[in-house]
Structure formats: structure tokens, C-alpha cells
Amino acid sequence: MSNPRDVVVLVGSLRKEAYSRKLAKALIALAPPQLRLEIVEIGELQLYNQDLEDKPPQPWTTFRDRVRRADAVLFVTPEYNRSVPAPLKNAIDVGSRPYGSSVWDGKPGGIVSASPGAVGGFGANQHLRQSMVFLNVPMLQQPEAYISGVDKLVDGEGGITNESTKGFLGKYLTAFASWIERTAPR
């Protein structure tokens, strides 16, 4: 494909060696040719405060511009207390403001949640879906991606060590590419 779809990848954890960051790198490596995935960093975004909207901080402006240019968004997140990590929620808030200027509106989305535990970040995945409904982000419904035991599935470079998981993630990305083609604004 000559013009792959531009997908911003938002990693929920800020930790340098986060499993979700390693998983995001693995997804980038597994992406089909019709997708170009790029991690967009969220760690430098100041906490959202409406008082700053008259002169938004440069990281907000840069973030909003980058997400606005993208064709789609892929969230790769751990679960913190049955929800998404605070930096990811802050990035969602920064992108949704000021009211009426949301960078998320109509942009196709997908979620891959991960946890060392058995539930695979189910709570974070479902909670994030609730926010995206309000922000008018059509989310890929099937397949759902809850990656349990992630600490045993990614190596130090972000490669997937389990062939079954690698195959599943490849199928997920193919479905996501089709979803983007069906739902992206023309």
C-alpha cells in the first residue's frame, strides 16, 4: 500500500521498562504494511487545567496537533486500580479540550491492555472504552485484546516470545487496519 494509515500509539505507562511499552514496540514490528504505528509520548503533558487554555503549554499543542493529523489511535495500557493510569487519562483530557475542539472526534480507535496478572487489564480496557464512547471514538469491538501474563510474553527488546500471542496480535492488527478503513473519516 503506497499510503499506509497513520496510527498514533499511546502507551499508558511512563516507566522506561514498562511491559506496555515493550508490547507497543512489538505491535509496531508486527503491523501490516497498510498501517504505520508511531508511539506518541505523553509523559511531558502538564496536568489538564482549563485555566491554561488561553496560552496552552507547548507540549499540549504539539500533542494535539500530532493526534489531530493521525488517521487512528491505538491505546496500549496496563491496568491501575481497575482503570487506566493517570498519565493516559490526562492525555485523553488534554486532547478533548477545549470543548468543541477534541482531537479524538470520529477517529477510529483500538485498545490492547496488558497485565502480569490473569485478567489482562480487563478493567482498564473497559473503562477506557467508556471514555471513548463519550469522545465519539469508534472502537474496534472484535477481537478484544487483553494480554495476561505479559511479563512472560515480551523480551527485553519488546519482541513477543510466544508464537500464539504473536499470531493473535497480528490478527488483531489486521482487524484494526480493516476497522480503520471502514470507519475513518473521509
Domain ranges in the chain? 5-183
Distance, in Å, from the CA atom of 7 to the CA atom of 168, rounded to the nearest integer, reads 19
Q: Which of 131, 133, 142, 12 is nearest to 74 (CA)?
A: 12
Q: Which CATH superfamily is domain 5-183 in?
A: Flavodoxin domain (3.40.50.360)
What element of type H or E holds 183? helix 163-183
109-166 pLDDT, tens digit each: 999 999 988 888 999 999 999 999 999 999 999 999 999 999 999 887 778 999 999 9
- Cα atoms found within 13 Å of the Cα of residue 143, Cβ hemisphere only: 14
Distance, in Å, from the CA atom of 146 to the CA atom of 63, rounded to the nearest integer, reads 27
91-107 pLDDT, tens digit each: 999 999 999 999 999 99
Considering the entire predicted model, what is its pTM? 0.96
User: Which pLDDT score, from 0 to 100, does residue 2 have?
Assistant: 62
Does residue 17 register a pLDDT over 50? yes
